[in-house]
Amino acid sequence: MDIQKMQFDTLLLHAGAAPDPTTGSRQVPIYQNVGYVFKDTDHAARLFNLQEVGYVYTRLTNPTVAALQERIAHLEGGAGAVACSSGHAAQIMALFALMRPGDNIIASNRLYGGTVTQFTHTIKRFGWSANFVDTENLRALEAAADENTKAIFCESIANPGGYVTDIPALAEIANRLGVPLIVDNTGATPYLCRPIKQGAHIVVHSTTKFMTGNGTSLGGVVVDSGTFDWSAVAGKYPSLAEPDPAYHGLNFHETFGTLAFTFHGIAVGLRDLGMTMAPQNAFQTLLGIETLSLRMQRHVENAMKVAGWLDTDHRVESVSYAGLPSSAFYSRVQELYPLGAGALFTFAVKGGYEACVKLVNGLELFSHVANLGDSRSLIIHSASTTHSQLTDEQLIAAGALPSVVRVSIGIEDAADLINDLDQALTKATQ
């Protein structure tokens, strides 16, 4: 059966997962090994020179990880994918092939706090920089570009506030500027949003979150649409469209075409940065993905019930969930995210910071955890934890004020979640 014609729920189970030809194992085995025996010296030379595709060393390629890469590439509608050790690693991997010292990216100011810190401080050590812009202001977004701009970066559903991005509008600007649009699709997953179909060129994930769904396995992935022309402007993306001296002058775009970005990610990114996903984590993520549709349906259903209840509670100042009709982004959800606005959102508690602390400490079913996307419901006070390194201005833009808590709604019974919040709010506001 042609995999290109398979529906999403079928791909969750079958993409990248043919029965093992030796043992007949129906589940993808965990290839917990480092090296692979070459057929002969010529075979080894061809693999190292990128003249043949195969397994060389698990830092670069591994059969379990390869199965995960293929599955996620199909789910996102991409040409190829590179799995790596975490979501943060995926972000650096995505930029690594594009950037040189002095280059910059345009980034949404509604991003996860760790990403803001990575883009504000850490990437400066590579000689890169980020210009943060409100992506609702499209004129300002386009005006932020200069001759050294190499990409636009956003989140499909932003962490922590649940803001939903107008990906087609950003893609249109990226095309005008001649740069790729990179979308972090962690919060939405390809079940709720397929950024490539909406015009994005590159997608990144922290697979640690909803993709795995059980809080056991760190991981990240970079998915390439295969649609961006890296050779369109001479000298703009030399790592991809000019001779690579480490591979005897090989030109990745000329040699690999639509898979240039993917091959570069493996042959150069993983080779030199070493941000490799462990086979065990790839296996756990493959298992999690099998139930992605079922889980995301329940996540969204529960989030709607919980957010709707909070929105009418007198102890709550406000709720930031784009799935609610009261949200300024509700119509965008209906158009671009028709299956729902995800399970991540924030709400402000009357009583401010102190009330938030009491709320978090008073919950019994929600877990106080610095993660999201688990099957269990989670809560955290972002301003003092995940976003604590941000400035006051950045906290406001991210929707992570001291009076706000972030929740990741799980797949428990919604009535139990509401009861837990009810009793904790009573403790926090009395």
Kindly report, residue by residue over 76-105, the tens digit of the pLDDT: 999 999 999 999 999 999 999 999 999 999
Q: Is the predicted pLDDT of residue 267 greater than 70, yes or no?
A: yes
Kindly report, residue by residue over 314-368, the tens digit of the pLDDT: 999 999 999 999 999 999 999 999 999 999 999 999 998 889 989 999 999 999 9
260 plus 297 within the same structural domain: no
d(CA 157, CA 299): 14
d(CA 12, CA 296): 13
Output the pLDDT for position 19: 87
d(CA 200, CA 229): 13
Higher pLDDT, 398 or 332: 332
Q: C-alpha distances in angstroms, 10 versus 15, 74, 83, 281?
A: 8, 11, 21, 22
329 plus 196 within the same structural domain: no
Q: Nearest CA to 277 among 328, 227, 218?
A: 218
Q: Is the predicted pLDDT of residue 139 greater than 90, yes or no?
A: yes
Boundary residue ending a domain (263, 288, 313): 288
Q: Which residues contact 237 (CB under 8 A, 6 or more apart)?
A: 97, 98, 150, 230, 231, 253
Kindly report, residue by residue over 269-285, the tens digit of the pLDDT: 999 999 999 999 999 99
Say if residues 220 and 213 touch (Cβ distance below 8 Å): no
In three-state secondary structure terms, 309 is helix
298 plus 282 within the same structural domain: no
Please, which pLDDT band fits residue 151 given cuts at 50, 70 and 90?
Answer: very high
> For 146-167, what is the mean pLDDT?
95
269 plus 384 within the same structural domain: no
Q: Is the predicted pLDDT of residue 67 greater than 70, yes or no?
A: yes
The full length of the chain comes to 430
Q: Is the predicted pLDDT of residue 160 greater than 90, yes or no?
A: no
d(CA 110, CA 161): 8
Output the pLDDT for position 100: 98
Question: Cα angle at 337 between 367 and 348, to 5 degrees?
Answer: 40
What are the tokens at 380?
A: 């955290």
d(CA 105, CA 95): 9
State the pairing for strand pair 149-155/104-108. Answer: parallel
Q: C-alpha distances in angstroms, 33 versus 6, 278, 406?
A: 32, 10, 39
Higher pLDDT, 25 or 421: 421
Output the pLDDT for position 386: 61
Domain boundaries, position 318: 293-429
Output the pLDDT for position 2: 79
Output the pLDDT for position 397: 61
Across 251-260, 317-326, 365-374, 384-393, least confident range: 384-393
Output the pLDDT for position 301: 98
Say if residues 284 and 291 touch (Cβ distance below 8 Å): no
265 plus 307 within the same structural domain: no
Output the pLDDT for position 22: 84
301 plus 272 within the same structural domain: no
Averaged confidence pLDDT in the chain = 94
141 plus 258 within the same structural domain: yes
Task: Name the β-bridge partners of 379.
Answer: 368, 407
297 plus 250 within the same structural domain: no
Output the pLDDT for position 395: 59
d(CA 249, CA 18): 36
What are the tokens at 379?
A: 């809560």
Output the pLDDT for position 400: 63
Q: Is the predicted pLDDT of residue 385 greater than 70, yes or no?
A: no
Please, which pLDDT band fits residue 3 given cuts at 50, 70 and 90?
Answer: confident
In what helix (H) or strand (E) does residue 133 lie, and over which residues does it extend?
strand 129-133
Say if residues 90 and 375 touch (Cβ distance below 8 Å): no
Higher pLDDT, 370 or 77: 77
d(CA 331, CA 37): 56
Q: Is the predicted pLDDT of residue 387 greater than 60, yes or no?
A: no
> For 46-56, what is the mean pLDDT?
95
Say if residues 110 and 158 touch (Cβ distance below 8 Å): yes
Which residue type, as a one-letter code, is found at position 76?
E
346 plus 277 within the same structural domain: no
CATH code, domain carrying 405? 3.90.1150.10
192 plus 64 within the same structural domain: yes
Q: Is the predicted pLDDT of residue 389 greater than 80, yes or no?
A: no
Radius of gyration of the chain (CA): 22
What are the tokens at 290?
A: 């099998």
The burial of 326, by beta-carbon neighbours within 10 Å (0-12 exposed, 13-18 middle, 19 or more buried), is given as exposed
Output the pLDDT for position 5: 83
Percent of the chain's residues with pLDDT above 70: 96
- Domains identified in the chain, total number: 2
CATH code, domain carrying 168? 3.40.640.10
Kindly report, residue by residue over 193-248, the tens digit of the pLDDT: 999 999 999 999 999 999 999 999 999 999 999 999 999 999 999 999 999 999 99
Boundary residue ending a domain (230, 262, 288): 288
Question: What is the distance of C-alpha 292 from the center of its chain?
Answer: 15
Output the pLDDT for position 306: 98
Give 166's DSSP letter.
-
331 plus 265 within the same structural domain: no
Boundary residue ending a domain (269, 288, 307): 288
d(CA 319, CA 30): 43
Helix residue ranges, H only, 182-291: 189-192, 238-241, 252-256, 260-264, 271-273, 279-289
Output the pLDDT for position 17: 87
Output the pLDDT for position 27: 93
73 plus 110 within the same structural domain: yes
